Structure 1
């Protein structure tokens, strides 16, 4: 029974991860000025990126971070103290001279838990900031054009300074944009 339940939960988790992974690449393609760009042909998806890629600089894209105001429960730590009367016994002696001594002490305990007390506002990140570079002739393959790579900010700045269709080489952080 337990093994069946574990297998069921593992299968559901795998299906959920696969579904979320398939949905994460979708979204709006933003141009450099932040507007939604309609592409006449779909960009080719790159294969899992190798250590270093090189190609001809095509396009760069900076996708800004997007946030939204949201509210969540405000949790505060609330503690209650309790006391407990504890009975102690001590036995001494042997045989008929055995005596038992009894005394009581009071022990103090404090239990704390987080309880909801109103709500608080915060900024929820809807879309993370990312920097992307599109290459032509990726790794010398003339057929691989318009392949997007996610890069860090420093690499983005370096590629941005390069002229159009010059050879650039970098280590991507991921594929797609």
Structure 2
């Protein structure tokens, strides 16, 4: 009786697999970053080969630039020190030879190491990372898209900063917004 259900079950499985493959159930959606991290906001990056068709670079008229400096703070954390304790263990060995069981003991040295807190240490904590931002008008030739901020790498920021005001520039954004 069970063997009569196998072809129907196999057919149903194949239809289900084909439907999932057609719908793109393989993992990445349009709002997924190419690095594979889910949860990244839509429009937070601009990379080549994206399934949503966004371009790798954007062109527009230079509007403004903004350099957000790195902000740090001094902070303390526990100072951990590695301590090791040596000990000797008595190990029992047995062996069989010609129907007789022979037992002997050896002493093996063993070392256990753990990290133990010894006071505190100070370190420099980064509160706000350094960012370079560019604001463009007429993004990709569309006059309706004005005042769009893009976070860019330092070399692209320097190139745009040196350009004349209202000059046409092309940048490769790291993320959208500043």
After TM superposition, the score normalised by the length of structure 1 is: 0.68
Unaligned ranges ≥5, structure 2: 1-37, 47-54
User: Between Structure 1 and Structure 2, how many residues are aligned?
Assistant: 132
Q: Does 1:167 align with 2:153?
A: no
Q: Which residue of 1 aligns with 2:80?
A: 75
- Structure number with the bigger relative contact order (C-alpha 8 A, sep ≥ 6) is 1
> Displacement, 1:141?
1.1
After TM superposition, the score normalised by the length of structure 2 is: 0.68
Unaligned ranges ≥5, structure 1: 1-16, 23-45
Partner SS for 2:145: coil
Partner SS for 2:158: helix
Over the aligned positions, Cα root-mean-square deviation in angstroms equals 2.1
1:47 and 1:145 mapped to 2: Cα distance? 18
Q: Does 1:123 align with 2:128?
A: no
Q: Which residue of 2 aligns with 1:151?
A: 152
2:150 and 2:156 mapped to 1: Cα distance? 11
Partner SS for 2:140: helix
> Displacement, 1:47?
7.8
Residue from 89, 96, 104 that aligns with 1:91: 96
**C-alpha distance 47-102 of structure 1, shift in aligned 2 (>3 A):** closer
1:105 and 1:48 mapped to 2: Cα distance? 63
